């Protein structure tokens, strides 16, 4: 019994330290991070089935073991210049939560980079200007002298066309 | 040995609610005065199972309450009591009450004792009064055997009880039964453990022991038998009476009072009739209690079909396996066999897939069943005369859709009863028959399931709807509206035309919710009405999860699937049949029909090599009663596809009803013909204008 309690306290200590792990990826030379617990899998780029009458950045849908998963090109989403997809181009499949439940979506990025531990207090709030709306940025972290832009994927991927869709439903 | 009995609760409740449904529909079908014996029997059996189950699981209030109903039903069953309107009504109310009690037990909330007490009194008073004399006579006859064996000099009962090996697995615990017996009187238990194997061979889930029980107490045989009722077909059970003259219990066992044995078997038969449900409850209970409460009842046919198919699959697999795959000397004859095998495999897989899908499908009667009762009750309340007709109860619908369509249907039927059908006098005055008719029809049409709710009542009063809409400021006072638009107003939030609010309907919170619920299911609802003639609501639901027969078509580089059911024909375009209206809308003459041409490339923004229409392929489709010709590049094969939702992870896309996965693992979109036709009338604004980049939004 006492051992069990000890283990309990140990784990809770772990939780207390409040470090989150982030998977980072490269997009046009910058390093972006997403909460690793949201990452379902990383897969190589494969052709998609385009969906008619959707914005450019929705590349289309893929078959992920029987589930239809929409793929967002993050370069398009951030209005960066498109580059041809190459050997390092990957799709990161993420779980996105919204008011209407969970969704699975994939994002196309230039390459995956690393996994970092970032303590909550090390996270800096994003400056209130810049290319993309701060709504989509959770914060900025500094890892090994580099800046990592940690994304708020729920807001990012639920915004835009999905938002319109939900608004229409109401 | 203690079994956690609570794990069976869920099954019990499920069984009981089902039993209640059986009772309810049975009661509604009873003809007053001339009750059909089978119906009464099935009602009785349902009540009996609920009583037994609730007693076993310790829901005493439920058991006691059901006992009263059971007694009344028993008398109806053996003909000693006439089936009167009064008793049927009381029984119906009791069914409601019982349902509430069970729901309360399930949710562990306190039971509304007042209501059950009132009804219990009512049942008792019915039992006490009425054709009492005949009751006595008949029940006397029934108890003849008992009385023969019943004597005042009885000292008790001798019971020889040998459970079958697998009795424990059905959740029956002998200790519990003995404890119940001990409550009746002094109990002496002798156990015979001669059959007990050595410890190594012992299976703790099997029962090896038998018991000889001596119950020293003068109780009715029924009381004793009731305790063993649930295990009757899982044990050998002998019951004999101990008379005061026969002091030694062993001799009593040998002498064996024949009459009591006959009686045992007689009741046995009766109990067996009531058994299947109980046995099922026990068997179903074997599966560990699931945390997720959603479960599904599947007819045994479907499961058998599935098992057959798996059997065939295994055979095919071994057949292919036998061609040992040494590719060096792979000659033609083997190639042939392999090809045959693969064809067979393909067929098996398809059939297997179909049957698995069918498991989720339930006949729509599940949703329709509640209506006879509702109509019955509301008619009484409103003094209206209404006949309910249903057709297509066997139309199968996905379980999730079924659950969600229930409430909207109730609402619509209620509306029809309350507002649609007029009072008998009004009907007579309007030259209609006194009894109004409400029809519920379900059928397949064009890849959809259609549910119609049709009444022959007063119909909508267009002027009143319009006046109301103006009053509620839903429309401007000088707006000119087509009939369809006017009817559409009733689906607006907060709209109700009922002159008086009643507690049945008319609060105006309904129709918009109905429409929203149906839209959430991907369906839609339409209404047509004719004043004085009646109103028809048509609900169109997609066949979710179903397999669809599709025609693969090629547009540019993309493959799309057109539901085969919506295709009328496919033809090659001849320029001379193409006409233009105002230089824009292209029409194609198919025999005597002019149908609009929908250029799929333009519609979906796909590049095309096609320059002219001449020689192009036109797939003529029909949706929503309208025809259109889809211009495509190529017709590929036909195949069955499994519908996957786009909305799970994305959102609804106009003109596309879903997606599927083709044999090569890629995704193909399934065309929504109705949507496409609508889309071709109001082309979408180019997507780029809606939102091109985040910079603009930010």
Q: In this structure, what DSSP letter does residue B88 have?
A: H
Q: To the nearest whole angstrom, how far is the Cα of A104 from the nearest Cα of chain B?
A: 5
Chain B interface residues (partner A, CB cutoff 8 A):
558, 603-606, 644-646, 648-656, 659, 661, 665-669, 684, 687-688, 690-695, 697-698
Q: Calculate the dihedral angle through the C-alpha atoms of A120, A124, A125, A126, rounding to the nearest 10 degrees.
A: -130
As a whole number of angstroms, the longest Cα–Cα distance in chain A is: 62
- Per-residue pLDDT at B330: 65
Q: Which two tokens stand for residue B499?
A: 């002159």
- List of chain B residues whose C-beta atoms are within 8 Å of the C-beta of residue A27: none
- List of chain A residues whose C-beta atoms are within 8 Å of the C-beta of residue B661: 63, 66
Q: Calculate the dihedral angle through the C-alpha atoms of B273, B274, B276, B282, rounding to the nearest 10 degrees.
A: -150
- List of chain B residues whose C-beta atoms are within 8 Å of the C-beta of residue A104: 648-649
- List of chain B residues whose C-beta atoms are within 8 Å of the C-beta of residue A131: 695, 698
Q: How far is CA B667 from the centre of its chain?
A: 33
Work out the number of other CB atoms within 10 angstroms of the CB of residue A42.
14
- Asked whether the predicted pLDDT for residue B544 surpasses 70, the reply is no
- Asked whether the predicted pLDDT for residue B246 surpasses 50, the reply is no
Confidence of residue A17 (pLDDT cuts 50, 70, 90): low
List the beta bridge partners of residue A14.
none
Calculate mean pLDDT across residues B460-470.
80
- Asked whether the predicted pLDDT for residue B685 surpasses 70, the reply is no
User: What's the burial of B682, exposed, middle or buried (CB within 10 Å: 0-12/13-18/19+)?
Assistant: exposed
Q: How far is CA B354 from the centre of its chain?
A: 19
Domain B146-273 has CATH 3.30.70: yes
pTM summary value: 0.46
Higher per-residue pLDDT: A110 or A160: A110
- Contact residues for A42 (Cβ-Cβ < 8 A; gap 6+): A90, A91, A92, A93, A112
Pairing of strands B558-563, B154-163: unpaired
C-alpha span between B628 and B593 (Å, rounded):
10
C-alpha span between B176 and B173 (Å, rounded):
5
| DSSP output for B345-362 | HHHHHHHHHHHHHHHTEE
Provide the residue ranges of all domains of chain B, joining segments of one domain with +.
5-142, 146-273, 300-359, 363-542, 547-690
- Asked whether the predicted pLDDT for residue B625 surpasses 80, the reply is no
- Asked whether the predicted pLDDT for residue B313 surpasses 50, the reply is yes
- Asked whether the predicted pLDDT for residue B693 surpasses 70, the reply is no
Here the ipTM equals 0.76
Confidence of residue B275 (pLDDT cuts 50, 70, 90): very low
- Per-residue pLDDT at B561: 92
CATH for B547-690, options being 2.30.30.830, 3.40.50.300, 2.40.50.140, 2.40.50.180: 2.40.50.180
- Contact residues for B561 (Cβ-Cβ < 8 A; gap 6+): B548, B550, B551, B552, B553, B641, B660, B668, B669, B670, B671
Q: How far is residue B7 from each of residues B19, B119, B155, B286, measured CA to CA in Å?
A: 20, 31, 39, 9
- Per-residue pLDDT at B33: 67
Q: How far is residue B152 from each of residues B220, B247, B255, B666, measured CA to CA in Å?
A: 11, 15, 19, 83
Whether residues B666 and A76 touch (CB distance < 8 A) is answered with no
Q: Which two tokens stand for residue B204?
A: 């703790």
Calculate mean pLDDT across residues A104-115.
90
Whether residues B667 and A61 touch (CB distance < 8 A) is answered with yes
Q: How far is CA B500 from the centre of its chain?
A: 35
C-alpha span between B62 and B81 (Å, rounded):
24
- Contact residues for B590 (Cβ-Cβ < 8 A; gap 6+): B569, B571, B577, B620, B629
- Which of B464, B496, B503, B487 has its CA nearest to residue B535? B487
Q: Tens digit of pLDDT for each residue in B438-448?
A: 999 998 876 67
Residue B184 and residue B157 in contact, taking contact as beta carbons nearer than 8 Å:
no
Task: Tell me the H-state helices in B523-563.
Answer: none
Opening angle at CA B16, ends B11 and B19, nearest 5: 130
Host H or E run for residue B398: strand B396-398
Counting residues of chain B whose pLDDT is more than 90, the rounded percentage is 2
Q: Tens digit of pLDDT for each residue in A63-87?
A: 888 788 999 988 888 878 888 888 8
Assigned fold of B363-542: Heat Shock Protein 90 (3.30.565)
Q: Which two tokens stand for residue B631?
A: 């211009």
Higher per-residue pLDDT: B417 or B499: B417
- Asked whether the predicted pLDDT for residue B107 surpasses 60, the reply is yes
Calculate mean pLDDT across residues B60-72.
82
Residue B511 has φ and ψ, to the nearest 5°, of: -60, -35
- Asked whether the predicted pLDDT for residue A36 surpasses 80, the reply is yes
Q: How far is residue B288 from each of residues A150, B17, B233, B291, B693, measured CA to CA in Å?
A: 44, 20, 23, 9, 52
C-alpha span between B312 and B310 (Å, rounded):
5
Whether residues A105 and B688 touch (CB distance < 8 A) is answered with no
Go through chain B and tell me how many residues it has: 698
B583: left (phi over 0), alpha (psi -120 to 50) or beta: left
Whether residues B653 and A161 touch (CB distance < 8 A) is answered with no
Location of structure tokens 């026990």:
B282
Least trusted range by pLDDT, from A4-13, B383-392, B488-497, B570-579: A4-13
Higher per-residue pLDDT: B502 or B401: B401
Confidence of residue B266 (pLDDT cuts 50, 70, 90): very low
Higher per-residue pLDDT: A169 or B178: B178
- Per-residue pLDDT at B300: 85
Calculate the average pLDDT of chain B. 75
Confidence of residue B110 (pLDDT cuts 50, 70, 90): confident
Q: To the nearest whole angstrom, how far is the Cα of A62 from the nearest Cα of chain B?
A: 6
- Per-residue pLDDT at A24: 92
- Which of B213, B260, B210 has its CA nearest to residue B234? B210
* Most confident option among A2-11, B286-295, B586-595: B586-595
C-alpha span between B664 and B295 (Å, rounded):
34
Higher per-residue pLDDT: B244 or B493: B493
- Asked whether the predicted pLDDT for residue B42 surpasses 80, the reply is yes
- Per-residue pLDDT at B248: 43
List the beta bridge partners of residue A91.
A43, A108
| DSSP output for B433-501 | -SSEEEEEEEEEETTEEEEEEEE-S----HHHHHHHHHHTTSS-TT----HHHHHHGGGSTT----SS-
Higher per-residue pLDDT: B243 or B55: B55
B112 CB-side CA count, 13 A: 12
- Which of B558, B683, B551, B554 has its CA nearest to residue B617? B554
Least trusted range by pLDDT, from A150-159, B51-60, B164-173, B386-395: B164-173
Whether residues A49 and B651 touch (CB distance < 8 A) is answered with no
Calculate mean pLDDT across residues B284-313.
68
Calculate mean pLDDT across residues B516-521.
76
- Per-residue pLDDT at B271: 41
In three-state form (DSSP H/G/I as H, E/B as E, the rest C), the secondary structure along B588-647 is EEECCEEEEEEEHHHHHCCCCCCCCCCCCEEEEEEECCEEEEEEECEEEEEEEEECECCC
- Per-residue pLDDT at A130: 61
- Per-residue pLDDT at B150: 43
- Per-residue pLDDT at B148: 41
Which domains, ranges and CATH numbers included, belong to chain A? 18-169 (2.40.50.180)
- Per-residue pLDDT at A25: 92
- Asked whether the predicted pLDDT for residue B622 surpasses 90, the reply is no
Whether residues A51 and B656 touch (CB distance < 8 A) is answered with yes
Go through chain A and tell me how many residues it has: 170
List the beta bridge partners of residue B693.
none
In three-state form (DSSP H/G/I as H, E/B as E, the rest C), the secondary structure along B294-322 is CCCCCCHHHHHHHHHHHHHHHHHHHHHHH
Opening angle at CA B658, ends B657 and B660, nearest 5: 140
B459: left (phi over 0), alpha (psi -120 to 50) or beta: left
- List of chain B residues whose C-beta atoms are within 8 Å of the C-beta of residue A162: 650-651
Calculate mean pLDDT across residues B375-400.
85
- Per-residue pLDDT at B4: 67
In three-state form (DSSP H/G/I as H, E/B as E, the rest C), the secondary structure along B424-443 is HHHHHHCCCCCCEEEEEEEE
Chain A interface residues (partner B, CB cutoff 8 A):
47-57, 60-63, 66-70, 76-79, 103-105, 131-133, 135-136, 159-162, 164-166
Assigned fold of B5-142: 1.20.120
Whether residues B650 and A70 touch (CB distance < 8 A) is answered with yes
Least trusted range by pLDDT, from B35-39, B76-80, B492-496: B492-496
Q: How far is residue B450 from each of residues B74, B567, B570, measured CA to CA in Å?
A: 42, 18, 26
Quick one: closest CA in A to B686, which residue?
Answer: A53
List the beta bridge partners of residue A101.
A98
């Amino acid at each position: 019994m006492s051992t069990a309690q000890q283990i309990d306290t140990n784990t809770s200590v772990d939780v207390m330290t409040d470090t989150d792990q982030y998977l980072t990826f490269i997009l046009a030379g910058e390093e972006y991070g997403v909460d690793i617990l949201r990452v379902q899998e990383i897969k190589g780029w494969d052709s998609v089935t385009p969906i008619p009458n959707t914005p450019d950045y929705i590349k289309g849908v893929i078959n992920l073991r029987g589930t239809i998963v929409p793929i967002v090109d993050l370069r398009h989403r951030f209005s960066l210049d498109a580059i041809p997809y190459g050997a390092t181009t990957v799709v990161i499949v993420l779980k996105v939560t919204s008011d209407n439940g969970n969704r699975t979506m994939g994002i196309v990025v230039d390459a995956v980079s690393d996994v970092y531990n970032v303590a909550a207090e090390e996270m800096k709030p994003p400056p209130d200007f810049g290319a993309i709306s701060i709504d989509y940025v959770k914060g900025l972290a500094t890892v090994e002298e580099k800046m990592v832009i940690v994304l708020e994927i729920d807001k990012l991927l639920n915004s835009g066309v999905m938002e319109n869709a939900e608004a229409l439903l109401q | 040995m203690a079994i956690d009995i609570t794990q069976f609760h869920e099954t019990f409740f499920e069984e009981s609610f089902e039993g209640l449904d059986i009772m309810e529909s049975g009661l509604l079908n009873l003809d007053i005065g001339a009750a059909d014996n089978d119906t009464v029997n099935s009602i009785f059996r349902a009540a009996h199972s609920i009583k037994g189950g609730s007693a076993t699981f310790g829901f005493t209030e439920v058991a006691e309450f059901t006992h009263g109903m059971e007694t009344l039903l028993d008398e109806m069953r053996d003909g000693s009591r006439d089936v009167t309107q009064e008793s049927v009504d009381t029984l119906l109310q009791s069914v409601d009450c019982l349902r509430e009690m069970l729901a309360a037990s399930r949710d562990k909330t306190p039971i509304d004792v007042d209501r059950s007490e009132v009804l219990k009194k009512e049942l008792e008073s019915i039992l006490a009064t009425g054709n009492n004399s005949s009751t006595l006579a008949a029940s006397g006859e029934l108890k003849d055997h008992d009385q023969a064996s019943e004597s005042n000099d009885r000292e008790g009962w001798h019971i020889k009880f040998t459970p079958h090996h697998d009795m424990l697995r059905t959740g029956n615990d002998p200790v519990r039964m003995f404890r119940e017996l001990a409550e009746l009187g002094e109990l002496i238990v002798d156990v015979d453990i001669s059959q007990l194997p050595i410890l190594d061979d012992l299976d703790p889930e099997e029962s090896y022991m038998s018991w000889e029980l001596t119950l020293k107490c003068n109780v009715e045989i029924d009381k004793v038998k009731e305790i063993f009722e649930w295990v009757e077909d899982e044990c050998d059970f002998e019951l004999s009476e101990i008379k005061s003259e026969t002091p030694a219990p062993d001799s009593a066992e040998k002498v064996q009072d024949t009459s009591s044995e006959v009686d045992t078997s007689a009741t046995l038969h009766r109990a067996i009739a009531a058994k299947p449900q109980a046995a099922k409850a026990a068997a179903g209970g074997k599966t560990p209690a699931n945390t997720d409460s959603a479960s599904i009842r599947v007819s045994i046919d479907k499961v058998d079909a599935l098992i057959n198919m798996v059997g065939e699959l295994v055979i095919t697999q071994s057949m292919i396996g036998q061609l040992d795959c040494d590719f060096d000397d792979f000659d033609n004859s083997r190639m042939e066999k392999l090809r045959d095998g693969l064809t067979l495999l393909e067929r098996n897989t398809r059939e297997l897939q179909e049957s698995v899908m069918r498991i989720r499908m339930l006949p729509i009667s599940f949703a329709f069943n509640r209506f006879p009762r509702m109509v019955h009750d509301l008619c009484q309340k409103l003094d209206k005369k209404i006949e309910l007709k249903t057709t297509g109860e066997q139309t199968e619908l996905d379980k999730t859709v079924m659950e969600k369509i229930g409430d909207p249907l109730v609402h619509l039927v209620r509306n029809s009863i309350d507002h649609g059908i007029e009072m008998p006098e009004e009907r007579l005055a309007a030259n209609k028959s006194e009894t109004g008719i409400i029809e519920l029809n379900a059928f397949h049409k064009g890849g959809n399931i259609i549910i119609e709710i049709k009444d022959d009542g007063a119909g909508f009063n267009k002027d009143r709807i319009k006046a109301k809409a103006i009053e509620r400021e839903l429309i401007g006072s000088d707006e000119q509206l087509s009939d369809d638009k006017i009817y559409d107003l009733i689906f607006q939030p907060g709209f109700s035309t009922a002159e008086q609010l009643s507690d049945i309907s008319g609060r105006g919170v309904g129709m918009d919710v109905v429409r929203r619920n149906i839209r959430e299911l991907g369906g839609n609802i339409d209404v047509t009405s004719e004043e004085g003639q009646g109103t028809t609501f048509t609900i169109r639901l997609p066949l979710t999860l179903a397999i669809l027969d599709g025609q693969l078509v090629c547009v540019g580089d993309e493959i799309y699937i057109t539901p085969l059911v919506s295709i009328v024909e496919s033809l090659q375009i001849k320029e001379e049949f193409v006409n233009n209206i105002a230089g824009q809308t292209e029409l194609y003459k198919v025999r005597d029909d002019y149908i609009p041409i929908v250029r799929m490339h333009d519609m979906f923004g796909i590049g095309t090599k096609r320059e002219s229409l001449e020689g192009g392929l036109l797939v003529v489709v029909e949706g929503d009663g309208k025809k259109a010709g889809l211009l495509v590049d190529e017709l590929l094969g036909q195949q069955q596809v499994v519908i996957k939702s786009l909305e799970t992870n994305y959102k609804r896309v106009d003109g596309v009803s879903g997606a599927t996965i083709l044999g090569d693992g890629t995704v193909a979109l399934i065309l929504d013909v109705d949507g496409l036709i609508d889309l071709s009338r109001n082309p979408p604004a180019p997507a780029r204008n809606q939102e091109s980049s985040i910079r603009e939004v930010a």
